[in-house]
Amino acid sequence: MMKVLGFMTGTSLDGVDMAVLDTDGETQVTFGPWSESPMPAETRKILEATIQAALVWPRGAAEPAIFGDARQAIVACHLDAAREFLDHNGLAFSDFDVLAVHGQTVLHERPKNGLKGRTVQLFDGRSFADATGVPVVCDFRQADIEAGGEAAPLMPVYHRALAQNAGLELPLLVVNLGGVANITAIDARGLTALDTGPANGLMDQWMRRHDRGDFDHEGRIAATGKVHADKVAAYMAHDYFKAAAPKSLDRYDFNLQAIEGLSFEDGLATLSAFTLQSLLAGIELVNAKPKTIVLAGGGRHNLHLVNQITAALSPARVVLAEDLGWRGGALEAEGFAYMAVRSLKGLPISFPGTTGVKMPLPGGKISYPKNWPQSLPS
């Protein structure tokens, strides 16, 4: 068993999730403390500018200079968040065998027309290792991209461990409602996964565009609006929904153009309906027939969306992660902590059914602090 502190920053740029996990990277999983730390406004501003630079970054060109500034900012943000978290929980960096950091995604392009994809999770593992005195595993997606995979979703291997640990009856479906929605189907065939479409990302953008906050609390505003079915159909006509699974999305593969001109309330209602329809299309695509659907990610707090999903997937049982004793807000930070141990052991974190790689593949880049006396087991 290894004690790991995992970090996750999502595409919503809302903060840093941290979770402690004791695990062998296989079947044993024991939860420790977890927390969500808001992202400082100045860090978010740098990252938003970095994302805009990444979106116009030509293949083969040197990376934009702002990437370096963003790496420094995100490392500093992680250090500040971690120090506060550790102080609050009576812990120290020296209590951990390894730190697991997802890094900030600023670009994700799926493989297309024979070209490998591109994915960028900005971080500096060596700098973080030096600052904390603990080995760091990060850059979990690059090996999968180089092998021709989608590099997403990566959480299925952890979803499987949680299901096994809880003794849940299969088939089971885990739905993560983050900036992008993705699903993990666990059944006798193994693991199948894909990104299904936008979840919170577009709705949060719509809220910010109208200066109404960062998110629609419990989906209350969306619940008052009218769904414009023609706009939902326009979104669903996107080529992405014609592609076979597994497949992955960047948060910015879809935009708000289709709903321009709608009222604030109708725009939210229509985006919520699009999230639902794209989710149902993804479930149908992989022919998942789950007995239980587990909802995780920030979207599980959107009561309007949860009610829509529950009604659409009846008679299957829809539960929140917390109903099973899982920590919905910590799930991804825990998942990368789990994958860090697998990385150290050379165990796979992506699979043919989850990212499209030809064979199960390890991932994760290991960085050691200066003068580290010995390597961890590999």
Binding residues: 10-17
205 with 264: CB under 8 angstroms? Answer: no
Sole residue written with tokens 């079947």: 27
Say how far residue 320 (Cα) sits from the centre of its chain.
17
- Specify binding-site residues for ATP: 10-17
Q: Is 38 helix (H, G, I), strand (E, B) or coil?
A: strand
Determine which helix (DSSP H) or strand (DSSP E) holds 196, and give its type and residue range: strand 190-198
163 token code pair: 């299901």
Alpha-carbon gap, residue 31 to 43, rounded angstroms: 29
Q: Bridge-partner residues for 31, per DSSP? A: 21
Cα–Cα distance, 195 to 278 (Å, whole number): 9
Give the tokens for residue 106. Answer: 């600023």
Q: Which residues pair with 7 in a beta bridge?
A: 18, 101
Contact of 319 with 295, CB cutoff 8 Å: yes
Helix spans in 242-315 (H): 264-285, 303-313
Q: What are phi and psi of 72, to 5 degrees?
A: -60, -40
Angle between helices 264-285 and 200-209 (to 10 degrees): 170
Residue 301, classed as helix, strand or coil, is: helix
Contact 74, 9 (CB under 8 A): yes
The helix/strand/coil state of 328 is coil
Q: Yes or no: say if 121 and 332 are a contact pair by the CB < 8 Å rule.
A: no
| 64/127 Cα distance (integer angstroms) | 20
Nearest-angstrom CA–CA distance, 16 and 14: 7
Angle (deg, nearest 10), helices 41-55 and 66-88: 140
